[in-house]
Structure 1
């Protein structure tokens, strides 16, 4: 069988004439001239995910070393050098879903190491089941809330609007979610009482978000500390309101008896 594809004249994605081009001038897609084989499939995987020069690795590293270049660049039109924000979020959700799936297999052991009361264990399992089941939805709903809070915190700065704060937190949340998944999962599965590691996820996330915002707004350490405290105060109020709503919903669904809501 001929390994070459017969139609090299038009782009398979948009139909533009590309007989003399390697990449489509209209949509940027690469011209494919070979049939799919195991060799070129593994080569494509290697090029996309294992090559240190590819956009995923570059985006991942630079969100540590120079987040302003990645995020501010995207906001201002830089779209080719790094993975776009929604693709990065999709990768993050995939990794987080795998993390949640594995974590769910060991939740009985993890909760038993933390709680001794049977009712507390069952209530915690019920709460975790909901968070596991709706993890993707929770992640997507969390980002607008973070964007709104940071926009309020930086209300005296006109550099970024609310939508641009959404992009900032979409990148930052996706990045720190991947990092935490990579770091904590091996520890959770190997260390005794490793459930306590879950409690460090929140401060790590806040520190990283503060680091990103400090870089983007180019402010000093004292100012970002003040902004972070204000950020946490607003978040705490919203968290209390959200916790009350979740507790009421869980009671209405029969997941928690009425007498146990005070222990949540």
Structure 2
């Protein structure tokens, strides 16, 4: 018998390949097996997904640090976890757009007169949510590297791993919060007041654990992070506006579109 993944010779009693670790599959694919795999992978308390999700809240230094240091079997690896987060986020926005379109409203968090632009920006982001999340990783990793430029514990590539885990966790938790909120009738704009602080606190918490920071050190670097984040946010907002202007065919057409949205009841 050979491993179907790497063609290594196996004994008839083998359940896993001793070279690649692949599970030996003896049965044909059926609905029952698919449901069993889904239950085993996502619903059992002891499975890697739930273990990774819970441990990122309780001991993020163990999850992220273990991966960086070479221990890759205990938790879901960073690429797979990020891919799961992208899938959940895609499902989240499909549900929001299909069943709760009226609650996708960011007017409550927009400056006066900028309500239409805020909703336009959200619409743009949700259309390219996977790309946006993937772009966030190198940007946040760069920001983090700048914040910790005096500490050489992690290189830029390792900061990429750190923020792939952090952004994946934020996305999964945010999806749970958003879907729960809209189900009970809370507009998406109001849920920003939950998701926004959570993102900042969770990111700071993970970095504190990874860098073993004191409270004072954490506060100082959080302030520096916020300054750098503000600069990047301004650049990102400007980019969104530029893209929208190009998509509308020019500044005049874009401004006219915004005016018509404001005037529309």
Query: Smaller-chain TM-score range?
Result: 0.7 to 0.9
Of the three residues 151, 161, 165, the one matched with 2:155 is: 161
In the alignment of these two chains, the number of paired residues is: 252
Q: Which runs of 4+ in 1 moved over 6 A?
A: none
Aligned match of 1:241: 235
The separation in 1 between residues aligned to 2:196 and 2:19, in whole angstroms, is 44
Of the three residues 50, 54, 60, the one matched with 1:57 is: 50
| TM-score, normalization by structure 2 | 0.87
TM-fit CA distance, 1:43: 2.2
The separation in 2 between residues aligned to 1:156 and 1:121, in whole angstroms, is 41
Aligned match of 2:254: 256
The separation in 2 between residues aligned to 1:192 and 1:108, in whole angstroms, is 10
Paired residues of 1:104 and 1:132 also in contact (CA < 8 A): no
Aligned match of 2:6: 14
TM-fit CA distance, 1:114: 4.0
| Change beyond 3 A, Cα 1:238–1:258 | farther
Aligned match of 1:6: none
TM-fit CA distance, 1:107: 3.6
Aligned match of 1:4: none
The separation in 1 between residues aligned to 2:215 and 2:235, in whole angstroms, is 30
Q: Secondary structure at the match of 2:5?
A: coil
Aligned match of 1:215: 209
Paired residues of 1:96 and 1:177 also in contact (CA < 8 A): yes
1:14-49 Cα shifts (integer Å, max 9, x gaps): 111112422111211011112223333322222211
Paired residues of 2:109 and 2:190 also in contact (CA < 8 A): no
Aligned match of 1:83: 76
TM-fit CA distance, 1:199: 3.6
The separation in 2 between residues aligned to 1:115 and 1:220, in whole angstroms, is 33
Unaligned 5+ runs, structure 1: 1-8
Paired residues of 1:180 and 1:201 also in contact (CA < 8 A): yes
CA RMSD of aligned residues (A): 2.4
The separation in 2 between residues aligned to 1:192 and 1:231, in whole angstroms, is 30
Q: Secondary structure at the match of 1:16?
A: coil
Paired residues of 1:63 and 1:175 also in contact (CA < 8 A): yes
Paired residues of 2:8 and 2:19 also in contact (CA < 8 A): yes
1 or 2 for the larger relative contact order (CA 8 Å, sep ≥6)? 2
Aligned match of 2:19: 26
Paired residues of 1:107 and 1:125 also in contact (CA < 8 A): no
TM-fit CA distance, 1:194: 5.3
TM-fit CA distance, 1:120: 5.2
